[in-house]
């Protein structure tokens, strides 16, 4: 089972599961999928453990049935209004010395120490560190170093992006999965996973904004110089849009959701003057026919408000260069007609739809999963494969043999260097 990766995306609207298997050629293939409505979360936080664990168990069982195997563990995504990020810096003296000179060579131990030093920030007792992502290193006076290993220097600095979450939020999520009969290998930030699935390296290097338009929250991850720079959450999402339609048109929430999905739009030029929407009647009254433009006047202000809050956050960031990679919209809310155009208008940045990018090391990505709604769970599968140690660079079969041989050679080189040089 060590060649199986299970990705679990627990969202406020739906719970999505993918089961992937690594074949002999090193290709990670999607062999099972599960999708169930989520009723136990609000704004990304578990509010009903029983409802959530039942939905998790049902979604994984559906994926198991499709894949024809049983699974025991998973890589689970975490998000919500309790997620926050901060940037920190650590400094250490280089400890390693070369035998032939007095110069100091940076070892992996030095890199680990400087990251630990950067992590030494004061956080409240009710919060825990979820991710620590190195942004860049500085060796003495040389800045902008991506990998300082084996470089010569006396002083090593590191800038990191630290992502924290509420302790209870993480514990309740893990508890739901455990009680459903499965084990969580690791919690992975949902926007970080989505970014892995939909962003190109060029976009990350130029600087980009990933906006995950979820049901309960809108999660933002800003990339600068190839690494995450800012994490931010807005406590509003697709549920608020549906609620607006339900209240203004006096219809049930379910009917409002259906109208939003089938006829929702937030960009005027996409509408025809004679387009109409059928609004179901309440209490036995007959359905009504209204212009589709009326639905737009309800949806657009709410989505526009969300993008204005995103812009307010971006304006507070002290970025060294403009966000040349633009805006990438993902999540179920990104499927709303006209949302890309509205984002481009409000944020004044080039915008595009973020669908999972076909990767050389991921197969089985059929049209059903090539949608923004599946970006997070596809990214969780890719990230789980990487953290499990059998990503594209460590495949099964001959690939693993090559990796082991390479590791032995490197160890032998290190021994020679230490003993004779």
3-state secondary structure of 22: strand
Q: What is the mean pLDDT of residues 182-205?
A: 96
Residues 6+ positions from 233 with CB-CB distance below 8 Å = 44, 79, 80, 81, 82, 83, 84, 217, 218, 219, 220
Looking at the fold, whether 215 and 335 belong to one and the same domain comes out as: yes
Looking at the fold, whether 253 and 347 belong to one and the same domain comes out as: yes
pLDDT above 70: percentage of residues in the chain: 89
Q: What letters, b where the CB count within 10 A reaches 16 and e where it falls short, cover 326-347?
A: bbbbbbbbbbbbbbbebbbebb
Identify the residue with better confidence: 173 or 391: 173
Cβ proximity of 212 and 218 under 8 Å:
yes
**Tens digit of each residue's pLDDT (9 = 90 or more) over 118-132:** 999 999 999 999 999
Strand pairing class (45-46; 84-93): unpaired
3-state secondary structure of 316: helix
In angstroms, the CA 194 to CA 383 distance is 10
Whether residue 21 is contained in a domain is answered as no
Q: Please give the pLDDT value at position 393.
A: 42
Whether residue 33 is contained in a domain is answered as no
Looking at the fold, whether 349 and 216 belong to one and the same domain comes out as: yes
List the beta strands (DSSP E) in 123-200.
Answer: 127-139, 142-145, 155-166, 183-189
Whether residue 285 is contained in a domain is answered as yes
Query: With 0-12 CB in 10 A as exposed, 13-18 as middle and 19+ as buried, what is 100?
Result: exposed
Q: Please give the pLDDT value at position 196.
A: 94
Q: Please give the pLDDT value at position 62.
A: 96
Residue 99: pLDDT over 60: no
Least confident of 223-227, 384-388, 408-412: 408-412
**Tens digit of each residue's pLDDT (9 = 90 or more) over 216-268:** 999 999 999 999 999 999 999 999 999 999 999 999 999 999 999 999 999 99
Whether residue 30 is contained in a domain is answered as no
Q: What confidence category does residue 44 fall into, taking pLDDT thresholds of 50, 70 and 90?
A: confident
φ, ψ dihedrals at 121, nearest 5°: -115, 155
Identify the residue with better confidence: 411 or 91: 91
Report how many domains make up the chain.
2
Identify the residue with better confidence: 398 or 366: 366
Domain boundary among 297, 330, 355: 355
Q: Please give the pLDDT value at position 74.
A: 96
Q: What is the mean pLDDT of residues 398-407?
A: 42
Looking at the fold, whether 269 and 161 belong to one and the same domain comes out as: no
The pair of structure tokens assigned to 168 is: 């209870």
Q: Which domain holds residue 205?
A: 201-355
Q: What letters, b where the CB count within 10 A reaches 16 and e where it falls short, cover 165-181?
A: bbeebbebbbbbbeebe
CATH number at residue 129: 3.30.1490.110
Looking at the fold, whether 207 and 349 belong to one and the same domain comes out as: yes
Q: At what angle do helices 292-316 and 339-347 cross, to 10 degrees?
A: 40
Domain boundary among 111, 146, 166: 166
Looking at the fold, whether 345 and 209 belong to one and the same domain comes out as: yes
Alpha-carbon torsion angle 51, 55, 61, 62, nearest 10: 150
What is the helix (H) or strand (E) element at residue 399, kind and residue range?
helix 398-420
Cβ proximity of 24 and 396 under 8 Å:
yes
Q: Structure pTM?
A: 0.88
Whether residue 379 is contained in a domain is answered as no
Whether residue 281 is contained in a domain is answered as yes
Across the chain, what does the average pLDDT equal?
A: 88
Whether residue 94 is contained in a domain is answered as yes
Cβ proximity of 90 and 196 under 8 Å:
no
Looking at the fold, whether 105 and 220 belong to one and the same domain comes out as: no
Q: What confidence category does residue 366 fall into, taking pLDDT thresholds of 50, 70 and 90?
A: confident
Q: Please give the pLDDT value at position 233.
A: 95
Looking at the fold, whether 331 and 215 belong to one and the same domain comes out as: yes
Count of CB atoms within 10 A of residue 146's CB?
11
In angstroms, the CA 305 to CA 288 distance is 29
Looking at the fold, whether 295 and 150 belong to one and the same domain comes out as: no
Count of CB atoms within 10 A of residue 30's CB?
25
Q: Please give the pLDDT value at position 361.
A: 62
In angstroms, the CA 27 to CA 364 distance is 10
Whether residue 416 is contained in a domain is answered as no
Looking at the fold, whether 226 and 344 belong to one and the same domain comes out as: yes
Looking at the fold, whether 136 and 212 belong to one and the same domain comes out as: no
Q: Please give the pLDDT value at position 78.
A: 96
Q: Please give the pLDDT value at position 26.
A: 75
CATH number at residue 314: 3.30.420.40
Q: What confidence category does residue 400 fall into, taking pLDDT thresholds of 50, 70 and 90?
A: very low
In angstroms, the CA 155 to CA 157 distance is 7
pLDDT above 90: percentage of residues in the chain: 73
Looking at the fold, whether 162 and 207 belong to one and the same domain comes out as: no
Domain boundary among 355, 378, 396: 355
In angstroms, the CA 367 to CA 142 distance is 46
């Amino acid at each position: 089972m060590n060649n199986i990766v299970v990705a679990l995306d627990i969202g406020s609207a739906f719970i999505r599961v993918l089961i992937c298997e690594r074949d002999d050629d090193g290709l990670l293939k999607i062999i099972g999928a599960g999708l169930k409505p989520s009723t136990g979360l609000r704004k990304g936080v578990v509010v009903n453990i029983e409802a959530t664990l039942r939905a998790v168990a049902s979604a994984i069982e559906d994926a198991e049935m499709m894949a024809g195997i049983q699974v025991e563990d998973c890589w689970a995504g975490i998000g919500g209004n309790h997620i926050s990020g901060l940037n920190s810096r650590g400094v250490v003296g280089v400890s390693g010395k070369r035998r032939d000179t007095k110069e100091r060579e940076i070892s992996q131990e030095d890199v680990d120490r400087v990251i630990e030093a950067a992590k030494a920030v004061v956080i409240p007792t009710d919060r825990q560190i979820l991710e620590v992502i190195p942004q860049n290193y500085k060796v003495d006076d040389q800045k902008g170093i991506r990998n300082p290993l084996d470089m010569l220097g006396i002083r090593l600095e590191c800038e990191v992006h630290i992502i924290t979450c509420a302790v209870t939020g993480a514990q309740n999520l893990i508890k739901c999965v455990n009680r459903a009969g499965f084990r969580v290998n690791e919690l992975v930030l949902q926007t970080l996973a989505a970014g892995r699935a939909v962003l190109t390296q060029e976009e990350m290097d130029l600087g980009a904004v990933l906006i995950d338009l979820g049901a309960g929250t809108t999660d933002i991850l800003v990339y600068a110089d190839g690494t995450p720079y800012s994490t931010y959450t807005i406590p509003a999402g697709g549920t608020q849009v549906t609620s607006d339609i339900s209240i203004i048109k006096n219809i049930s929430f379910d009917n409002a959701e259906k109208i939003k999905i089938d006829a929702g739009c937030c960009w005027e030029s996409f509408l025809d003057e004679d387009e109409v929407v059928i609004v179901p009647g309440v209490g036995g009254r007959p359905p009504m026919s209204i212009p589709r433009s009326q639905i737009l006047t309800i949806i657009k202000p709410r989505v526009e408000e969300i993008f204005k809050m995103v812009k307010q956050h971006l304006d507070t960031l002290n970025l060294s260069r403009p966000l040349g990679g633009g805006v990438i919209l993902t999540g179920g809310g990104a499927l709303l007609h006209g949302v890309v155009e509205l984002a481009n208008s409000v944020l004044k940045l080039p915008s595009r739809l973020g669908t999972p990018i076909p990767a050389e090391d991921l197969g089985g990505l059929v049209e059903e999963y090539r949608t923004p709604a599946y970006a997070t769970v596809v990214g969780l599968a890719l990230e789980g494969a990487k953290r499990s140690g059998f990503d594209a660079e460590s495949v099964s079969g001959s690939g693993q043999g090559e990796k082991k041989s390479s590791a032995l050679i490197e160890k032998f080189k290190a021994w020679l260097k230490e003993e004779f040089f």
